[in-house]
Amino acid sequence: MSDKLIIFDTTLRDGEQSPGASMTKEEKVRIAKALEKMRVDVIEAGFPIASQGDFEAVQAVANVVKDSTVCGLARALDKDIDRAGEALKGANSGRIHTFIATSPIHMEMKLRMTPDQVVEQAVKAVKRACQFTDNVEFSPEDAGRSELDFLCRVIEAVIDAGANTINIPDTVGYNVPEQFGVLIRNLIERIPNSDKAVFSVHCHNDLGLAVANSLSAVMNGARQVECTINGLGERAGNASLEEVVMAVRTRQDLFPCDTSLDTTQIVPASRLVSGITGFPVQPNKAIVGANAFAHESGIHQDGVLKSRETYEIMRAEDVGWSTNRMVLGKHSGRNAFRTRLQELGITFDAEEELNAAFARFKDLADKKHEIYDDDLQALVTDASIEAENEHVNLVALKVCSETGETPDAKVTLRVDGEEKQGHSEGGGPVDAAFKAIETIINSGSDLQLYSVNNITSGTDSQGEVTVRLEKGGRIVNGQGADTDIVIASAKAYINALNKIMAADVRAHPQL
């Protein structure tokens, strides 16, 4: 019987610390539901003391997620721990993750504390967290640059105090695989009460070694890996969930453990996170990149056609690449639409929502004759994005673009219930549309990112647009999809404006 490898996803916390990747409460809930569906064991939903927005997001995730443990991060301070405990009150299963730095440089330069004081504060924090839950994780921050004897001392003390998960972070991504594996083995062997806790690792990717270090740790006794979808995270990111999970699953001949994840949910989750954060996935990214299962060379194609194992170590469908078959068209009925959505795992709470989605589907089918699975996913996501727009909605847009003429846009928006018109010229049709919107809204925000992706192939494909806006240090991402990329762009811009106008967006998640 192989051991269980616990997957702790920190996309909503460390992932959100990527500059520009901030997410709203609703977006966090959407991602948390996708993680729960993937059967992720622990979802770190945020850092409740960081802001009111983060507190509410952790609370919202704790209230909706039933099958995964929901975790909140807290420094080793009473006020942080109390706030995390409060945010997790509604959770079926809640965990408090508390941390304090243990490396000489962090203790001296950042904390200005002696090693004795650090041990005392760590123990106090764990005891306080135990008053809220019996599921307490402790991290000696910058463990990868801490002294082994001191790490052993702190960890033994916090396990005695009640911590049942000990997470070893390579906070600055400094370690290399063999050495990191030896560190984990040494800790487990030397700490007398190590059998009372699960050892976990949390690796950053500054040297491109986060996944390799995590796997080396697993080979040496770690039984929890902290990771993120698409490897999102502070600086160069964290270990990528999809790579860790598939390496362990594919090489069961080497690993003495496995996860209980539904790996077919990996690609949908990757797309969701990429769409919400506006961080594209590079085409050659392992597992979730567009080319991850594409064979270009003739020799490879020939081999795969004869026997797929010649060049394929995993099956694309096992990680959720759908065959993306043409499913529906203009003449498809409501029942066929509902059935295919159900097969894709999309259900509606109310009949009116299905009716609205079906009306959108009919509109799309008028413009695009072959509707693929990816079109359906985009259509449903676009509908939920529009439903979240609280202040501004697009009513109409007319753009003129002609050789030798300056592009020109006329837009009608509904702003808090009132219809308003705007008009502007611009350097291109998208620029003109954004400027026309701004003649009405005057948001004062700066455009930081504008990106367009085609959802399927072909010139009639829907374009999926991400717009990132910044105002007074607050960064938001907006999305929109349409077969007309100028309209998709306007929808994305309007979605971002709604978020800028909402109250709960934070400057930056980390304190």
- What the block records as the tokens of 465 is 């647009």
* Site residues (vs Zn ion, CB under 5 A): 14
Residue 75: which of ligand KIV, Zn ion, none does it interact with, CB under 5 to 8 A by kind? none
Shorter beta-carbon distance to Zn ion: residue 14 or 482: 14
Q: Whose Cβ is closer to ligand KIV: residue 61's or residue 166's?
A: 166
Shortest Å, Cβ 168 to Zn ion? 12
Q: Binding partner of residue 133 among Zn ion, ligand KIV, none, CB under 5 to 8 Å per kind?
A: none
- CB closer to Zn ion out of 499 and 506: 506
Alpha helices, DSSP H, located in 368-411: 373-388
Q: What is the CA radius of gyration of the chain?
A: 24
Least Å distance, CB 74 to Zn ion, is 14
Name which of 233 and 268 has its Cβ closer to Zn ion: 233
CB of 155 to ligand KIV, least distance (A): 14
Local structure of 47: helix, strand or coil: coil
| Kind plus residue range of the DSSP H or E element containing 464 | strand 463-471
Task: Give me the least distance between CB of 80 and Zn ion, in Å please.
Answer: 16
Q: Contact 8/227 with Cβ under 8 angstroms?
A: yes
Helix (H/G/I), strand (E/B), else coil: 170? strand
Residue nearest to Zn ion (CB): 14
152 vs 236 by CB, closer to Zn ion? 236
**Measured from the CB of residue 10, what is the shortest distance to ligand KIV in angstroms?**
7
What does each C-alpha distance from 56 to 24, 52, 77, 457, 496 come to in angstroms? 10, 6, 20, 39, 20
Query: Can you read off the two tokens belonging to residue 66?
Result: 């039933």
Structure tokens at 1: 């019987």
106 binds, among Zn ion, ligand KIV, none (CB under 5 to 8 A by kind): none
Least distance in angstroms from the C-beta of 12 to Zn ion: 13
Alpha helices in 65-135 (DSSP H): 78-87, 104-105, 115-130
Q: Which is nearer to ligand KIV, 158 or 319 (CB)?
A: 158
Burial class of 256 by CB neighbour count within 10 A (0 to 12, 13 to 18, 19+): middle
CA-based nearest residue to 7, from 37, 31, 43: 43
Question: Residue 177's binding partner, choosing from ligand KIV, Zn ion, none, with beta-carbon cut-off 5 to 8 A by kind?
Answer: none
Distance CA 354, CA 361 (A): 10
| Separation CA 284–CA 126 (nearest Å) | 42
Q: Judged by CB, which is closer to ligand KIV: 191, or 201?
A: 201
CB of 76 to ligand KIV, least distance (A): 11
Buried b (16+ CB within 10 A) or exposed e, 327-339: bbeeebeeeebbe
Q: The tokens 């059935």 sit on which residue?
A: 339
Q: For Zn ion, which is the closer residue by CB, 102 or 479?
A: 102
Q: Which does 435 bind (CB under 5 to 8 A by kind): Zn ion, ligand KIV, none?
A: none
Residue 491 binds which entry of ligand KIV, Zn ion, none, with Cβ cut-offs from 5 to 8 Å by kind? none
Which of Zn ion, ligand KIV, none does residue 139 bind to, with CB < 5 to 8 Å depending on kind?
A: ligand KIV
Residue 282 — φ and ψ, nearest 5°? Answer: -65, 145
CB of 385 to Zn ion, least distance (A): 29
Smallest distance from ligand KIV to CB 190, Å: 21
By a kind-dependent CB cut-off of 5 to 8 A, residue 199 interacts, out of Zn ion, ligand KIV, none, with none
As measured in angstroms, the least distance from the Cβ of 47 to ligand KIV is: 8
- Compute the Cα dihedral for 148, 152, 154, 155 and give only its sign: positive
DSSP letter at 370 equals: S
List residues near ligand KIV by CB under 6 A. Answer: 14, 99, 139, 141, 167, 169, 171, 202, 204
Q: Which CB, 239 or 501, lies closer to ligand KIV? A: 239
Q: Which of 45, 433 has the CB closer to ligand KIV?
A: 45
In whole angstroms, how close is the CB of 375 to Zn ion at the nearest point? 36
Q: Which listed option, Zn ion, ligand KIV, none, makes contact with residue 141 (CB within 5 to 8 Å by class)? A: ligand KIV
Beta carbons of 397 and 490 less than 8 angstroms apart: yes
The closest alpha carbon to 157, from 122, 200, 113, 116, belongs to 122
Rounded-to-integer distance, Cα 96 and Cα 378, Å: 35
Structure tokens, 344: 């894709």
In the complex with Zn ion, the residue whose CB is nearer, 141 or 408, is: 141
Which among Zn ion, ligand KIV, none contacts residue 445 (Cβ within 5 to 8 A by kind)? none
Nearer to Zn ion, 47 or 372 (CB): 47
* Residue 99, contacted partner among ligand KIV, Zn ion, none, CB below 5-8 A by kind: ligand KIV
Q: Find residue 393's DSSP bridge partners.
A: 414
CB 361 within 8 A of CB 340: no
- Measured from the CB of residue 479, what is the shortest distance to Zn ion in angstroms? 26
Compute CA 438 distance to the chain's CA centroid, rounded to the nearest angstrom: 30
